[in-house]
Chain A
């Protein structure tokens, strides 16, 4: 196996093994679904179209499940003979009950994909908006403090102290300040969380230029601005991207946990708390899964940007040159 294949293959293999072990353990140990649903249950919550609980399927003739509607994001397959006015409550909620023979039938609008995708998109926008604000502010302050040593000496201890505070604890306050349904309340919490690691890392990068490199610039009588552009900023890029990787993860955490304290119904954090409160754990897990995926994709995008921005960097050095 080539080195490259190995680098991609190994994690994928581990992922598959973990999923298999999870599935096997939950089944084998008979763990209750509400404690830990099986991966298949979580996935099917995203893709399955209909679930009928308590329904006595023997009452239904074979193949009687008919497709009544496959339109506009909502796909509902209902057993034959079920009145279509069920569609209305289904459109609004994700759940509807009706009687079928002697049984109470519960239909879950099983396709949670669309609501979760919508919620994820909403939350992602909050996370990215906050990330952008926090990164811009962090880099700006870093540039200022790197230029004026006195400011840096004064500010950096506070930044480092602030960085170790659980800023997420302020989420309810910010929800209160900006309005619980205002996406800016989540962006603000994300921006504050992201600000400190971005600023601290960028400052480190800007000031940790090797003295010899600065000496070279001085020997050319380079201006402060040239030194900044040609030595400090390139030197800070690896630090910046390390900060950005931390910040990307923090942004997702900040947005979702911010929503745990309240937010509009279409938000991922709200979706997760509601589903969990209603004991629809497979659904909550599915949303968590999407949140994790978004986090990973964001991280990969940052890695890609890092590579494009720093083709020289030592971490990409190949041994086969």
Chain B
């Protein structure tokens, strides 16, 4: 695919120097993600999912291989603010209120005052935190903090969203609601989403593709297209195909585990 939004070509990432301390986090990653795809990365803890997101976002240099985003070097894409990132940890600034945290990217991108406030309000409504706009992060629960981080990433409407277990700390109901909201945003804004999750159900429900990874070294072992009808909704979960795909992903993860033993 030439019009790939994210294109990884033989990417390797090794941490540390010396033979003892070295960890190969990513090995021979080849991945092409097209416009408006919703790709989930799933795999055991420590298999390199966060590392892969960081390499795509040019927050970590690849040890070898090519990373292209929106047809440019990953670095250029970062400088052009092509993507928004939700980190595994909320990473809020202690000295900013909830609203100010959401505004951080808007400030950096020189939004006007009205636009800034309007976007912040919309985003806080989306994650149901309007009542906490003037609270400080330490006054929020872990899940609430994560929701602020989601609001912050969505606020400036990036063309690519890199999300690292964004809903990991949330209760089932909030998670399902935000899943639907995210799908809605994805459809409306034609964003491309790379999404890390530990939940097979979530991966299948949201994605157009599920990438299964295995650990040590982190590799892509399977690339499963999710051919469930769009738009997804409550009835998607009742679709027989949904269960088949769930089983397929589960099997793929299991196969990796057996191989490792």
| A contact set with B: CB distance below 8 Å | 210, 212-213, 215-216, 218-222, 226, 230-231, 234-235, 237, 310, 312-314, 317, 321
Nearest B-chain residue to A219, judged by Cβ: B85
Whether A314 lies near B94 (C-beta < 8 A) is yes
Nearest B-chain residue to A213, judged by Cβ: B91
Chain B residues whose CB sits within 8 angstroms of the CB of A237 once the complex forms? 95
Chain A residues whose CB sits within 8 angstroms of the CB of B138 once the complex forms? 312, 314, 317
Chain B nearest CB from A280 CB (Å) reads 51
Chain B residues whose CB sits within 8 angstroms of the CB of A226 once the complex forms? 108
Nearest B-chain residue to A223, judged by Cβ: B108
Chain A residues whose CB sits within 8 angstroms of the CB of B107 once the complex forms? 230
Chain A residues whose CB sits within 8 angstroms of the CB of B80 once the complex forms? 221
Could you say which interface size class chain B belongs to?
A: 20 to 34
- B61 contacts the other chain (Cβ, under 8 Å)? no
Q: Which of B150-192 contact A (CB under 8 A)?
A: none
Q: Which of B96-143 contact A (CB under 8 A)?
A: 96-97, 104-105, 107-109, 136, 138-139
Whether A312 lies near B136 (C-beta < 8 A) is yes
Whether B78 lies near A212 (C-beta < 8 A) is no
| B contact set with A: CB distance below 8 Å | 54, 57, 59, 78-81, 83-85, 87, 89, 91, 93-97, 104-105, 107-109, 136, 138-139
Bound-state CA distance A310–B136 (Å) is 12
Given A221-B80, A312-B136, A317-B138, CB of A213 within 8 Å of CB of B105: no
Bound-state CA distance A234–B101 (Å) is 13
Chain A residues whose CB sits within 8 angstroms of the CB of B109 once the complex forms? 220
Whether A219 lies near B59 (C-beta < 8 A) is yes
Given A219-B59, A221-B79, A221-B81, CB of A234 within 8 Å of CB of B93: yes
Chain A residues whose CB sits within 8 angstroms of the CB of B85 once the complex forms? 216, 219
Chain B nearest CB from A242 CB (Å) reads 16
A selection of 20 A-B contacts at a CB cut-off of 8 Å is A212-B89, A212-B91, A213-B93, A215-B54, A215-B91, A216-B104, A218-B59, A219-B59, A220-B105, A220-B108, A220-B109, A221-B81, A226-B108, A230-B104, A231-B93, A234-B94, A235-B95, A237-B95, A312-B95, A312-B96
Whether A220 lies near B81 (C-beta < 8 A) is yes
Nearest A-chain residue to B137, judged by Cβ: A312
Chain B nearest CB from A18 CB (Å) reads 37
Whether A219 lies near B57 (C-beta < 8 A) is yes
